[in-house]
Structure 1
Amino acid sequence: MKKLLLPLMILAIAVGLYEQSNDKPNLYIMSIAIVIFMYGMMKLSAKTPSKHTETEEEQDNDN
């Protein structure tokens, strides 16, 4: 999934930047590119552990 998600995000960024450089950018294409990029970032960052969760667990153990 990660191997498919990363190129899709890069493609969405490229399409968004290309569309933004036009004289009259298409709002729908820009919106779809942003949604795809944000969805990809959400999926990729969901696997990153949070530092805040570790400190909560340590505080619970101390009490």
Structure 2
Amino acid sequence: MKKLVLPFTLVAIIVALYEQSKEKPNVYILCIAIVIFMYGIMRLSAKTPSKNQEENQQDDAE
């Protein structure tokens, strides 16, 4: 599942950009693509450690 997040996010970006370039874009497709994109970014950013978390660990060690 973790390996599928990045491809789905990229596909959502491509679909949204393609749909936006049309003369009359479908709002539902755009909304679904934005939701998938935001979910993918949320999942990907959850893996990066917080800068404050590293500082808190150093403060606890002292």
**TM more than 0.5:** yes
What pairs with 1:1-63 in structure 2 (closer than 5 Å)? 1-62=1-62
Q: What are the superposed Cα offsets for residues 16-63 of structure 1, whole Å, 9 maximum, x if unpaired? A: 00000001111111011011011001001101100012223334555x
Any stretches of 5+ residues in structure 1 without a counterpart?
A: none
What is the TM-score when the length of structure 2 is the normalising length?
0.85
Point out which structure has higher relative CO (alpha carbons under 8 A, 6+ apart). 2
Any stretches of 5+ residues in structure 2 without a counterpart?
A: none
Give the ranges of 4+ consecutive aligned residues of structure 1 lying more than 4 Å apart after TM superposition: none
What is the TM-score when the length of structure 1 is the normalising length?
0.84
Task: Count matched residues.
Answer: 62
The two structures, once aligned, show a CA RMSD in angstroms of: 1.3
Percent identity reads 63
